[in-house]
């Protein structure tokens, strides 16, 4: 962490967001700016990876190192960056379609490795960038360009999937409460391991309600006011089960006993040296990186 203070302007690039006026992603982006300034990470010590979609434009709106990868591949890219340079603070961002449709197969594997990466998903329950097709979290009955008679499929539950995979930090926020959202993002970045933050971010163009902010507030339950114990995994599962019916905002689950991936690799290297073996990483560095 840097000793000198930063403001959110230090993380704002010269690119102007081109989202639809009123899009929830504006609030998410500003919450990220505030969280990064609050933590005090220098922009050159931060890497931001994304896939494809409206929300995946976010890396370009920051002054961090950034990469806009192909659809659904933000997490593999983020893991590669973190493995190559563990000193970087790494964030990944994307939408529910990017993360839980084509990218859904990466979830369980990044969770089991537990690298120190914060994954921010902007969940708008629709494919917005490609003009309003039904996505993995779209509400049943939704009429869209791909479901003209209403969606009949059961939606993916991101919270349950992440919890069942063994994630040690699971939170959910909403763009109607930016103060809480900033705190959740800060806590996720500070967490030593893989942190998942699901954010209900309304799509004002293809969304399911005319006044989505009013609808969000009506469904919202602030976990900070309910006395929820984030260490209780069974309680976390019960909250996750209500995804789509109630919008539980706050820290859902946290486990500080898990070992982060970089630390696990350090332990492997120490054990290999003690056994007189030559770690593969050092062979790679000697044969390829030095020359």
How does DSSP assign 197-239, residue by residue?
EEEE---TTT-S-SSHHHHHHHHEEEGGGTT--TT-HHHHHHH
Do β-strands 169-174 and 117-123 pair in parallel, antiparallel, or remain unpaired? unpaired
CA distance 115 to 76: 11
Give pTM, 2 decimals: 0.91
Spatial distance between the Cα atoms of 140 and 152, rounded to a whole number of angstroms = 6
Q: What is the pLDDT of residue 2?
A: 46
The H or E element spanning position 26 is helix 25-39
pLDDT at residue 1, rounded to an integer: 46
For residue 276, give Cα distances in angstroms to 173, 272, 284, 287. Answer: 49, 6, 17, 19
Q: Are strands 247-254 and 169-174 parallel, antiparallel or unpaired?
A: antiparallel
DSSP letters along 161-196, please? Answer: HHHHHT-SEEEEEETT-HHHHHHHHHHHHHSSS-EE
Q: How many residues are there in the chain?
A: 291
Cα–Cα separations (whole angstroms), residue 155 to 133, 151, 169, 176, 213: 14, 9, 22, 23, 21
Report the distance separating Cα 77 and Cα 47, nearest Å. Answer: 11
Tell me the average confidence (pLDDT) per consecutive run of 10 residues in the chain, 291 residues long: 76 94 93 96 95 92 92 92 94 93 90 96 91 91 91 94 97 94 98 97 80 78 95 97 95 96 84 70 54 41
Q: What is the CATH number of domain 8-258?
A: 3.40.50.970
pLDDT given for residue 272 in this prediction: 75
Q: How far apart are CA 115 and CA 260, in angstroms?
A: 5
pLDDT score recorded for residue 264: 86
> What is the predicted pLDDT for the residue at 211?
62
Span(s) in the chain for CATH 3.40.50.970 = 8-258
């Amino acid at each position: 962490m840097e000793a000198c203070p930063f403001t959110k302007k230090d993380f704002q690039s010269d690119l102007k967001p081109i989202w639809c006026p009123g899009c929830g992603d504006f609030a998410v982006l500003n919450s990220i700016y505030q969280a990064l300034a609050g933590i005090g990470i220098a922009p050159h010590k931060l890497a931001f990876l994304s896939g494809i979609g409206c929300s995946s434009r976010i890396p370009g709106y920051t002054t961090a190192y950034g990469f806009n990868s192909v659809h659904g591949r933000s997490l593999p890219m983020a893991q590669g960056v973190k493995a190559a340079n563990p000193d970087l603070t790494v964030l990944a961002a994307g939408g529910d379609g990017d993360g839980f449709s084509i990218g859904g197969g990466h979830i369980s594997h990044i969770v089991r490795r537990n690298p120190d990466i914060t994954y921010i998903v902007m969940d708008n329950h629709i494919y917005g960038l490609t003009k309003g097709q039904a996505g993995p979290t779209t509400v049943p009955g939704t009429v869209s360009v791909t479901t003209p008679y209403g969606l009949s499929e059961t939606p993916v539950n991101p919270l349950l999937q992440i919890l069942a995979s063994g994630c040690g930090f699971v939170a959910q926020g909403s763009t109607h409460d930016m103060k809480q959202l900033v705190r959740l993002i800060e806590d996720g970045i500070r967490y030593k391991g893989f942190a998942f933050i699901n954010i209900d971010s309304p799509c004002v163009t293809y969304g399911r309600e005319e006044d989505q902010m009013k609808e969000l507030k009506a469904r919202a339950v602030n976990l900070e006011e309910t006395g929820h114990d984030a260490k209780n995994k069974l309680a976390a599962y019960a909250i996750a089960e209500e995804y789509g019916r109630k919008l539980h905002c706050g820290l859902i689950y946290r486990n500080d006993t898990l070992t982060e991936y970089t630390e696990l690799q350090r332990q492997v290297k120490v054990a290999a040296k003690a056994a007189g073996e030559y770690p593969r990483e050092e062979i790679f560095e000697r044969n390829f990186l030095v020359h």
